[in-house]
Amino acid sequence: MYNMDLADLRATERLASMIAEEVETGDVILLKGELGTGKTAFAKAFVNSFFAERIEVPSPTFGLVQVFSAPEFSISHYDLYRIKNPNELAELGLEEAFLSGVTLIEWPEIIGPLLPKNRIEISLAYGENKENRVASLITHGSCQQRLREIFSCVKP
């Protein structure tokens, strides 16, 4: 596990960009945290890391999923906040997304045993003041090796 202090929104965006440089098809990023801790801000910065010009990245809260065609792979951004029953997940195409590109999932707690092997779990929490956040990262599968170098300068 790695812990990072994120002084402001730009620090959250830099973290998203650093991770975006290392992901591969099949990687899944789980975004956990209370409302307002920066999950959607992370997702927007992550998606925009793959495009030369900034694109609009709407929150998928009501549509549940947004898919972006990046040059190397598709990016599926899920928001599972409104999902209360795990049976509803089958209709969302999660398993297909896991295989065909990179997947970002806000509020992933409902997924449980369907979580893939190659994943990054990012928990965002409020820091000491209204602006800063604390990010805790846990990597699994091949993500662990690829991201170790990024976080070698961060306190485990």
Which is more confidently placed, 7 or 141?
7
Q: What is the CATH number of the domain that holds 139?
A: 3.40.50.300
> Mind listing the pLDDT tens digit for each residue in 23-76?
889 999 999 999 999 999 999 999 999 988 887 776 766 678 888 888 889 999
Residue 37: per-residue pLDDT: 93
Query: CA 69 → CA 61, 66, 89, distances in Å?
Result: 19, 10, 22
d(C-alpha 17, C-alpha 105), whole Å: 16
pLDDT of residue 139 exceeding 50, the answer is yes
d(C-alpha 134, C-alpha 5), whole Å: 5
Summarize the confidence of residues 8-18 as an average pLDDT: 92
d(C-alpha 96, C-alpha 76), whole Å: 10
DSSP line for 62-89:
TTSEEEEE-SSSEEEEEE-TT---GGGG
| In the block, residue with structure tokens 């990072």 | 4
Give 66's strand partners: 77
Domain hosting residue 50, numbered range? 2-153
Whether the predicted model's global pTM rises above the 0.75 cut:
yes
Residue 155: per-residue pLDDT: 46
Q: How many domains does the chain have?
A: 1
d(C-alpha 122, C-alpha 37), whole Å: 11
d(C-alpha 15, C-alpha 6), whole Å: 9
